[in-house]
Structure 1
Amino acid sequence: MLVTIGRLAELTGVPASAIRYWERHGLLPTPERQGGQRRYPPEAADRIVVLRTCQQAGLTLAQIREFQEQQPRRAAMIRTKLAEIEQLRIDLEHARQLMEHALLCSKTDIVACPTFQEQLASWRR
């Protein structure tokens, strides 16, 4: 069952303008047209979920295009992006630990706190 761009936008939570943009840049296959209106197959929603996830992971349009290529071509880009995501995860965990400690710390200057200094030392290891 084919759906209109408006219905696809509703199903995915992605504006129709973004869907058209991705089509123009070759990230979504060109849909069928019926009476001049775009009509999408059900799997278009799944592809949009993949595109959104790639964007949220910080992939550029060129990287997303490469992500959709054959396995050997995309592997190097994916390995690089996975390393970046892992570093971001570590950085966010450190930020979370800092915020949790700062919330409970009685020191005026968090940097002067011995417990925080211990945390910093453990992050450097």
Structure 2
Amino acid sequence: MRMTIGQLAEAAGVPASAIRFWERHGLLPAPERQGGQRRYPPQAAERIVLLRKFQQAGLSLAEVREFQQDQPRRQAMIRAKVAEIEQRVLDLHHAHQLLTHALQCSETDIASCPTFREQMKTWDQPA
């Protein structure tokens, strides 16, 4: 059963304007039209979930478009994005360590805390 843009927007939890935007930029396939209205297959909601995950992972629209195409550059783009995400995970881990330690540290300035300074030294070492 095909859905209207409003039904798809509700099912996917996104505004209809986002669906039209993704269509204009080639990120969603052009839907069939019935009586001038867009009609989407049920798989369109799954494609939107995937698009949102790509965005949450930090992929740009150009990267998402490239990911959807079977191109030789695709693998290189994916490897670069994985490395970028791994660095973000590491940065978040360090921020978590800092904040967790700061909650229990008695030092006025966390930068002067010997325990924390030792921890910071490990951040520069290769994993």
After TM superposition, list the pairs within 5 Å mapping 1:29-68 onto structure 2: 29-68=29-68
- Aligned pairs, number: 125
Give a deviation string over 1:30-61, Cα, whole Å, max 9, x none.
00111211110011011111111111111111
TM-score w.r.t. length of structure 1: 0.96
Question: Which ranges of structure 2 fall in alignment gaps of 5 or more residues?
Answer: none
* Residue 107 (structure 1) aligns with: 107
SS at match of 2:33: strand
In 2, Cα distance between equivalents of 1:92 and 1:82 = 15
Q: Identity of paired residues, percent?
A: 70
* Residue 123 (structure 1) aligns with: 123
* Residue 11 (structure 1) aligns with: 11
SS at match of 1:3: coil
Give a deviation string over 1:52-109, Cα, whole Å, max 9, x none.
1111111111111000011533111000000000000000010011110001111100
* Residue 87 (structure 1) aligns with: 87
* Residue 25 (structure 1) aligns with: 25
TM-score w.r.t. length of structure 2: 0.95
- Structure 1 runs (4+) deviating above 2 angstroms are none
* Counterpart code for 1:58: G
* Residue 2 (structure 1) aligns with: 2
* Counterpart code for 2:79: R
Q: Say what the alpha-carbon RMSD is for the aligned residues.
A: 0.9
SS at match of 1:78: helix
* Counterpart code for 1:67: F
* Counterpart code for 1:56: Q
